[in-house]
Amino acid sequence: MNTGIYDNQQPVLWFPNLIRLPEPEPMNRFSIALALCLAPLTAFGQSADANPRDAWWDSLTALCGKAFAGEMTGFARPADDGWLGQRVVMHVRECSDSEIRIPLHVGENRSRTWVVTRSGDGFRLKHDHRHEDGSEDAVTWYGGHTTDPGRATRQTFPVDDYSKALFLANGLAASTANFWSMEVHDGDRFAYELVRPGRHFRAEFDLSEPVEPPPAPWGHE
C-alpha cells in the first residue's frame, strides 16, 4: 500500500544551497488533495458521533411515557401473518437510568415487551413474552448484547449464549443466528429489526404523532 508521496522515490541529489526532491506522482497528488478535503468532514463526523451510546440512549429516553403507531415494513409469510391487518403500537412505558421497558401491542395481543438495559459495556435487549394470565411463555427473556459502540441512531444486538441454548431447547435452531437492531431517528421514526440468514423482519413507528397509550402488557397490570 502506498503510504505517502515519497514511496518508491529516486535518490535525493544534494548540492550546495540546493535540494531537489522527486516530483509526486499524479495519483499521489490526487490522494493528498482528497485527504485534505475529507479531513474536516471526517473530524466533524467523529465529533458529532463521539459517544453514540449516550446519543442513542438519550433519544430513546426522550420517548418515555409516549406511545406510537407503526407497521411492518419487512416481513415473511406465513411467519408474520399474525401482524397483518392488526394495529401495532409501541409504548415506552417504564424508564430508569439503566432500563427502559417498551411493551409492543399487536391488535389485542399484549404479550410482548422489549426490555433494554444499559451497562458499562453497552446495551442488552431482552424479549419478555407472557400469556394472557401473566405467566411467562416457554420462550422468553431471549435477546442479545451490543458488541461495539454502534451509531447514534442504531444499536445492534447479536444473539447471546443464553438465548442460543433456549432456542435449541425449544426446536428453534434457526434463531441461534439472530441479530436484532433498534433505531431511533428523533422526531421521525423508531425501528425494530430482526435479521438472520433467510429471515428479515422490520417494523417502523411514526414518532411525529404520538397516540393514546394502550393498556398495560399482560403480567404487568
Q: What is the Cβ-side half-sphere exposure of residue 113, based on CA atoms within 13 angstroms? A: 27
Q: How far apart are CA 53 and CA 50, in angstroms?
A: 9
Taking only the tens of pLDDT, the chain with its 221 residues reads: 444 433 444 443 333 443 344 444 444 433 433 333 333 333 334 444 579 999 999 999 999 999 999 999 998 888 888 888 999 999 999 999 999 999 999 999 999 999 999 999 999 999 999 999 999 999 999 999 999 999 999 999 999 999 999 999 999 999 999 999 999 999 999 999 999 999 999 999 999 999 999 999 999 88
Phi-psi region of 112 (alpha: psi -120 to 50; beta: other; left: phi over 0): beta
Contacts of 207 (CB under 8 A, 6+ apart): 63, 68, 184, 185, 186, 187, 188, 189, 190
The pLDDT assigned to 25 comes to 43
Largest CA-CA distance found in the chain, in angstroms, rounded: 94
- 53-206 domain in CATH 3.30.160? no
Domain residues of the chain, as ranges? 13-48, 53-206
The pLDDT assigned to 174 comes to 96
DSSP run (H or E) holding 44:
helix 26-48
Q: How far apart are CA 195 and CA 157, in angstroms?
A: 10
Q: How far apart are CA 146 and CA 155, in angstroms?
A: 7
Q: Quick count: other Cβ atoms within 10 Å of Cβ 29?
A: 12
User: Residues, the chain, total?
Assistant: 221
Backbone dihedral angles phi then psi of residue 25, each to the nearest 5 degrees: -70, 150
Q: Quick count: other Cβ atoms within 10 Å of Cβ 124?
A: 17
The pLDDT assigned to 17 comes to 43
The pLDDT assigned to 197 comes to 95
Q: Quick count: other Cβ atoms within 10 Å of Cβ 145?
A: 18
pTM listed for this prediction: 0.77
Q: Are 110 and 133 in contact (CB under 8 A)?
A: no
Q: Are 113 and 97 in contact (CB under 8 A)?
A: no
